[in-house]
């Protein structure tokens, strides 16, 4: 499903996904003026630093390095045209909240309300997320909220692997910029994309996993809770663990 590299895929599809993911990753590395990782190079080639012109020297993207700030990541994303979702979106939804948040909530993708307002989790599911955050003793402005995809999939369909591959590098940079103590992945797509697994959310939730050394708690998506209120108890157990870790 959300995992772009399913073993059961046909070889052509698999190759297409790999190339899309690799192209997005290399593109971002170039944009962020990062060294090309040694693993991308042929043996003996050595690590070369890719240098783009500095700010004001004819460059179209802002000059940002490995420790880029959230505004730098936003500036690099720009008026993103990296995948076809740009054609159907009203607003790109980057994310919002405390740039030094202890906890980052990562959802799936903007819905209709978020697409209209350019803000994450502002519809019915978002209102429930806000109530969960308040129940944790926090305010929305204390935490950071973002999504795997920055643009709404038409009709709220599931994100496609190639859309996740194109957008994910920006989420990675957001998480690096914030450096939270804990990440809370909301729902299947967020958990699968961040943990690179296909294990059902029902089995992932309830315990911490590691995302780049940061404790990550997968839990049910608030939209799922709206349809299955009985699962609120489990989400409450999950966020209590997040509170303890904070
Ligand atoms: N669902 C999500 O996953 N993200 C939003 O921003 C809104 C609804």
Q: Are 112 and 156 in contact (CB under 8 A)?
A: yes
Whole-number Å distance, alpha carbon 191 to ligand 1 midpoint, is: 14
Question: What range defines the domain where residue 50 resides?
Answer: 2-245
Ligand 1 site: residues with CB under 6 angstroms? Answer: 107-111, 114, 120-121, 123, 125-126, 147, 223
Q: Which residues contact 158 (CB under 8 A, 6 or more apart)?
A: 1, 2, 189
Work out the average pLDDT over 73-83: 96
Work out the average pLDDT over 29-41: 43
Work out the average pLDDT over 17-36: 55
How many domains are there within the chain?
A: 1
Whole-number Å distance, alpha carbon 244 to ligand 1 midpoint, is: 25
Whole-number Å distance, alpha carbon 228 to ligand 1 midpoint, is: 17
Q: What ligand 1 atom has the least distance to the C-alpha of 187?
A: 3
Task: Give the span between the Cα atoms of 26 and 195, in whole angstroms.
Answer: 21
Whole-number Å distance, alpha carbon 147 to ligand 1 midpoint, is: 7
Work out the average pLDDT over 15-36: 57
Chain mean pLDDT for the chain: 84
Q: Among 127, 145, 152, 141, which residue's Cα sits nearest to residue 223? A: 127
Q: Which residues contact 157 (CB under 8 A, 6 or more apart)?
A: none
Whole-number Å distance, alpha carbon 43 to ligand 1 midpoint, is: 43
Q: Kindly state the percentage of the chain with pLDDT values over 90.
A: 72
Work out the average pLDDT over 169-194: 97
Mutate to test the pocket of ligand 1, among 92, 112, 121 (most ligand atoms within 8 A of CB): 121
Question: Which CATH number characterizes residue 109's domain?
Answer: 3.40.470.10
Q: Is the pLDDT of residue 23 over 70?
A: no
**pLDDT (tens digit, 9 = 90+) per residue, 203-240?**
999 999 999 999 999 999 999 999 999 999 999 999 99
Whole-number Å distance, alpha carbon 131 to ligand 1 midpoint, is: 15
Work out the average pLDDT over 8-19: 68
Cα–Cα distance list, 63 to 30, 176, 199 (Å): 11, 17, 39
pLDDT for residue 172: 96
Q: DSSP assignment of 6-73, as one string?
A: -TTS-HHHHHHHHHHHHHHHHHHHHHTTPPPPGGGSPTT-------PPPTTSS-SS----TT--HHHH
Provide the token pair at 118. 């350019």
Task: Give the span between the Cα atoms of 108 and 150, in whole angstroms.
Answer: 9
Whole-number Å distance, alpha carbon 57 to ligand 1 midpoint, is: 38
Mutate to test the pocket of ligand 1, among 91, 107, 145 (most ligand atoms within 8 A of CB): 107
Q: Is the pLDDT of residue 38 over 60?
A: no
Mutate to test the pocket of ligand 1, among 110, 163, 194 (most ligand atoms within 8 A of CB): 110
This prediction's pTM: 0.78
Q: What are phi and psi of 159, to 5 degrees?
A: -60, 145
H/E run at residue 194: helix 188-195
Q: DSSP assignment of 71-108, as one string?
A: HHHHHHHSS--SSTHHHH-SS----EE-TT-SEEEEES
More confident residue, 189 or 14: 189
């Amino acid at each position: 499903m959300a995992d772009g590299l399913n073993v059961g895929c046909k070889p052509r599809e698999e190759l297409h996904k790999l190339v899309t993911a690799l192209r997005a990753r290399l593109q971002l590395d170039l944009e962020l003026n990062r060294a090309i990782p040694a693993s991308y190079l042929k043996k003996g080639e050595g690590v070369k630093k890719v240098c783009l012109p500095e700010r004001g020297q004819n460059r179209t993207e802002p000059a940002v390095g490995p420790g880029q700030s959230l505004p730098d990541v936003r500036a690099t994303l720009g008026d993103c045209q990296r995948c076809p979702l740009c054609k159907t979106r009203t607003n790109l939804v980057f994310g919002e909240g405390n740039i030094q948040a202890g906890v980052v909530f990562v959802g799936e993708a903007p819905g209709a309300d978020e697409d209209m307002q350019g803000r994450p989790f502002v519809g019915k599911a978002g209102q429930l997320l806000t109530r969960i955050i308040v129940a944790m003793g926090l305010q929305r402005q204390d935490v950071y909220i973002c999504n795997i995809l920055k643009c709404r999939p038409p009709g709220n369909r599931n994100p496609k692997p190639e859309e996740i591959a194109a957008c994910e590098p920006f989420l990675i940079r957001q998480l690096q910029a914030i450096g939270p103590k804990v990440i809370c992945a909301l729902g299947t797509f967020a958990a699968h994309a961040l943990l690179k697994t296909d294990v059902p959310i029902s089995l992932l939730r309830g315990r911490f996993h590691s995302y780049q050394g940061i404790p990550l708690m997968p839990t049910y998506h608030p939209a799922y809770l709206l349809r299955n209120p009985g699962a609120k108890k489990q989400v409450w157990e999950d966020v209590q663990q997040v509170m303890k870790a904070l």
